């Protein structure tokens, strides 16, 4: 702790846990993107809101940048600290503070894992419906910072819908108590929603009041094999008309190939080009609504094969085929696109996107999957083992510029649920127009005039060209 600024931090915030150990700087200085070399000044672990306020006041006085840090499972570099920042880890703030049965709310500290929230809700006979594969390690603070979505958005919406209130510590050290868990509150700007998806650029979320709901009905899970991409949206329409869908997820044979290589079990004897995992309310695996939906799709020639889980264990096995994709691709350092269009625009967008990527990536393996029922597609381009990473990223960045223009024409977004962070800031202008970005800049400057909070993420304070429309 030789740095005098850290000595002053130590004096200003008695009892604050701090580390400058090399392995901690490495661990806490990065997220699931592996593109930047972590180089933070130190990592602080406040244990209370008062300590977070004091750290931010210190940062303002010293002019030290702060990177708020949750589970660091992000895929856009939003939690990367590569420039001498102080990482502010919420890891020690992971208490479930209160449950209210009348309001159906759970008050938690920001460092609580998503899975802990789900379990706490269940222990009260209720349900917290935001869900995705990194549930065990991602935190509520990080979920709020990116407005995380996941596999049940189709039925329940994104994190935003479930945040009834939050406490935000500003860089001045003030604690803003936003919306107080109210259902109705027509009293001016809803700063809670401004904080959601702000990627730690407006303040540090320390506490959230989360809404819970009744547990879902009994469900059935089905895996369908599709003969072509063209029928995907037709199958979605047909299932949505006939079943109460809880989830509708898609992946390709390439995705399945990697998941199987990673240890999962093959679902069918034959290989098919496209697959869908669907979960829906059902009275058992022989529910007539289910047979009706399946027969309809089969008659139209839209499904080549299908299986319905006969037990929870089998359903978990089918889900694994979808949920393990990210992990099974991680070793190939994939370049990730996480794009969205309105569901109605999906067929036209998909046709053009497929043609574009086939033409631009003739020599790379491209893995498609995602939350097609929400209009959200994940495209992972795998790095050839013998290719230099910078070269690979530059090539994929150039293709992403074309994809961003295509998204712009279809009224879509360059980030559906992973945030902008460092990875996508060059493409922000394809989703937000110049006037809107100017307002975003003004909001950020109003809350953080000195640019202390997560600088370089979302957009650069001093570089108006970095987010121009590609
Ligand atoms: C998912 O849907 C996550 O599994 C990760 O959003 C997507 O790895 C990805 O590209
Ligand atoms: Zn996703």
- Mean pLDDT, consecutive 10-residue segments, the chain of 470 residues? 94 97 98 96 98 98 98 98 98 98 98 98 98 98 98 98 98 98 98 98 98 96 95 96 96 98 95 97 89 94 95 96 97 97 95 97 97 96 97 98 98 98 98 97 97 97 49
Residue 455 domain flag: no
Nearest-atom index, ligand 1, CA of 249: 2
Q: Could you say which of 193, 211, 229 is where a domain stops?
A: 211
- Point out the ligand 1 atom lying closest to the alpha carbon of residue 378: 10
Q: Which domain holds residue 147?
A: 96-211
Q: Is residue 397 part of a domain?
A: yes
Q: Is residue 147 part of a domain?
A: yes
- Nearest atom in ligand 1 to the alpha carbon of residue 337 is 10
- CATH number for the domain spanning 317: value is 3.30.70.2190
Closest-lying ligand 1 atom to the alpha carbon of residue 417 = 6
- Number of separate helices (H) and strands (E) present in the chain: 15, 16
Choosing from 329, 338, 419 the residue with most ligand 1 atoms within 8 A of its CB, the one to mutate for a pocket test is 338
CA of 372 to the centre of ligand 2 (A): 10
Q: Which two tokens stand for residue 170?
A: 């500003």
Q: How far apart are CA 133 and CA 154, in angstroms?
A: 16
Q: Judge if 137 and 204 occupy the same domain.
A: yes
Euclidean distance between CA atoms 229 and 196, whole angstroms: 34
Give the pTM. Answer: 0.96
167 touches ligand 1 (CB under 6 Å): no
Looking at residue 286, its pLDDT comes to 84
pLDDT score, position 1: 73
Query: In this predicted structure, what is the pLDDT of residue 465?
Result: 40
Task: Concatenate the DSSP letters of all residues of 218-246 into one string.
Answer: PEEEEEEEES-GGGHHHHHHHHHHHS-EE
DSSP character string of 330-374: GGG--EEEEEE--GGGHHHHHHHHHHHHHHH-TTS-EEEEEEGGG
Residues 207 and 251 in one domain: no
Beta partners for residue 367, in sequence order: 380
Q: Which ligand 1 atom is at minimum distance from the Cα of 150?
A: 2
Whether 350 and 286 map to the same domain: the answer is no
Say if 53 falls within a structural domain. Answer: yes
**CATH number for the domain harbouring residue 69:** 3.30.43.10
pLDDT of residue 462: 66
CATH code of 350's domain: 3.30.70.2740
Domain assignment of residue 394, yes or no: yes
User: Quick one: which of 185, 183, 180 has its CA closest to 208?
Assistant: 180
CA 94-95-101 angle, 5° bins: 135
Tokens of 346: 């999906």
Considering only CA atoms, which of 90, 89, 86 is closest in space to residue 1?
86
Give distance in angstroms: CA of 49 to centre of ligand 1. 32
Closest ligand to the CA of 336: 1
Give me the sheet containing 274-281, strands edge to edge. 305-308, 219-226, 274-281, 245-252, 366-371, 376-381, 335-340
Assess if residue 321 is contained within a domain. yes
Residues 207 and 100 in one domain: yes
Three-state DSSP class for residue 87: strand
Closest ligand 1 atom to Cα of 380:
10
- One DSSP character per residue, 5-16 reads HHHHHHHHSTT-
273, 294, 326: which is the final residue of a domain?
326
- Report yes or no on 452 lying in a domain: no
Q: Is the CB of 328 under 6 A from ligand 1?
A: no
User: Measured from the CB, is residue 380 less than 6 Å from ligand 1?
Assistant: yes
Is there an atom of ligand 1 within 6 Å of 326 CB? Answer: yes
Supply 205's token pair.
Answer: 């979320």
Domain check: are 412 and 389 in the same one?
Answer: yes
Instruction: Give just the sign of the alpha carbon dihedral 277, 279, 284, 290.
Output: negative
Examine the domain organization and report whether 75 and 149 are in the same domain. no
* 306: phi then psi, degrees, rounded to nearest 5: -165, 155
Same domain, 239 and 342: no
Closest among 111, 112, 151 to 132, alpha carbons compared: 151
Distance 25 CA to ligand 2 centre (A): 28
Comparing CA positions, the residue from 338, 392, 405 lying closest to residue 365 is: 392
Ligand nearest to the CA of 337: 1
SS3 of the chain: helix, strand, coil, percent, to 5: 40, 20, 40
- State if residue 135 touches ligand 1 by the CB under 6 angstroms criterion: no
3 state SS of 54: helix
Ligand 1 center from residue 146 Cα (angstroms): 13
Question: What 3-state DSSP class applies to 406?
Answer: helix
Question: 55 with 80, same domain?
Answer: yes
Instruction: Say how many C-beta atoms besides its own lie within 10 A of residue 16's C-beta.
Output: 20
Residue identifier of the C-alpha nearest atom 9 of ligand 1: 326
133 lines ligand 1 (CB under 6 A): yes
Residues 14 and 119 in one domain: no
Q: In terms of domains, do 249 and 320 share one? A: yes
The residue among 185, 211, 237 that closes a domain is 211
Pocket test for ligand 1, best of 32, 75, 381, 383 (most atoms within 8 A of CB): 75
Start-end of H helices in 63-199: 114-123, 140-146, 153-156, 191-195
Residues 67 and 135 in one domain: no
Number of domains in the chain: 4
* Residue 442 maps to a domain: no
Per-residue pLDDT, 466: 44
Q: What is the C-alpha separation between 421 and 428, in angstroms, rounded?
A: 10
* CATH of residue 145: 3.30.465.10
Contact 160, 147 (CB under 8 A): yes
The number of the ligand 1 atom at minimal distance from the alpha carbon of 133 is 4
CA of 230 to the centre of ligand 2 (A): 21
> Same domain for 15 and 33?
yes
């Amino acid at each position: 702790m030789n740095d005098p600024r850290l000595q002053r931090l130590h004096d200003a915030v008695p009892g604050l846990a701090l580390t400058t150990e090399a392995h901690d700087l490495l661990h806490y200085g990065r997220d699931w993107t592996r593109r930047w070399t972590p180089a933070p000044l130190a990592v602080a672990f406040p244990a209370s809101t008062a300590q977070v306020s004091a750290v931010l006041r210190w940062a303002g006085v010293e002019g030290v940048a702060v990177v708020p840090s949750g589970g660091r499972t992000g895929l856009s570099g939003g939690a990367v600290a590569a420039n001498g920042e102080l990482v502010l880890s919420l890891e020690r703030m992971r208490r479930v503070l209160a449950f209210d049965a009348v309001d159906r709310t759970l008050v938690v500290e920001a460092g609580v894992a998503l899975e802990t929230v789900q379990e706490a809700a269940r222990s009260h006979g209720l349900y917290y419906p935001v869900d995705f594969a990194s549930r065990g390690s991602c935190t509520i603070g990080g979920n709020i910072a990116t407005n995380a979505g996941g596999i049940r958005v189709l039925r329940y919406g994104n994190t935003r819908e479930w945040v009834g209130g939050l406490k935000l510590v500003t860089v001045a050290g003030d604690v803003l108590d936003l919306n107080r868990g109210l259902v109705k509150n027509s009293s001016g700007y809803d700063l809670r929603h401004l904080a959601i998806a702000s990627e730690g650029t407006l303040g540090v979320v320390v506490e959230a009041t989360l809404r819970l709901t009744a547990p879902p009905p009994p469900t059935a899970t089905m895996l369908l094999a599709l003969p072509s991409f063209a029928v995907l949206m037709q199958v979605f329409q047909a299932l949505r008309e006939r079943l109460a869908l809880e989830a509708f997820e898609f992946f390709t044979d390439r995705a399945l190939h990697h998941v199987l290589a990673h240890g999962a079990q093959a679902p069918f004897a034959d290989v098919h080009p496209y697959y869908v995992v669907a979960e829906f309310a059902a009275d058992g695996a022989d529910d007539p609504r289910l047979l009706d939906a399946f027969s309809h799709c089969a008659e139209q020639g839209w499904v080549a094969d299908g299986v319905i889980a006969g037990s929870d264990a089998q359903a978990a096995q089918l889900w694994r085929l979808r949920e393990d994709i990210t992990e099974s691709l991680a070793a190939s350092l994939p370049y990730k696109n996480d794009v969205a269009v309105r569901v109605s625009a999906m067929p036209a967008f998909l046709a053009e996107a497929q043609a574009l990527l086939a033409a631009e990536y003739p020599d790379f393996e491209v893995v498609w999957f995602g939350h097609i029922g929400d209009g959200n597609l994940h495209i992972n381009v795998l790095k050839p083992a013998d290719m230099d990473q910078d070269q690979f990223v530059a090539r994929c960045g150039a293709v992403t510029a074309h994809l961003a223009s295509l998204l712009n024409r279809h009224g879509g977004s360059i980030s559906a649920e992973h945030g902008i962070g460092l990875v996508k800031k060059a493409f922000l202008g394809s989703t937000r127009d110049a006037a809107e970005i100017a307002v975003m800049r003004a909001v950020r400057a109003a809350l953080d005039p000195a640019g202390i909070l997560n600088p370089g993420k979302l957009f650069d304070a001093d570089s108006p060209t970095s987010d121009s429309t590609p």
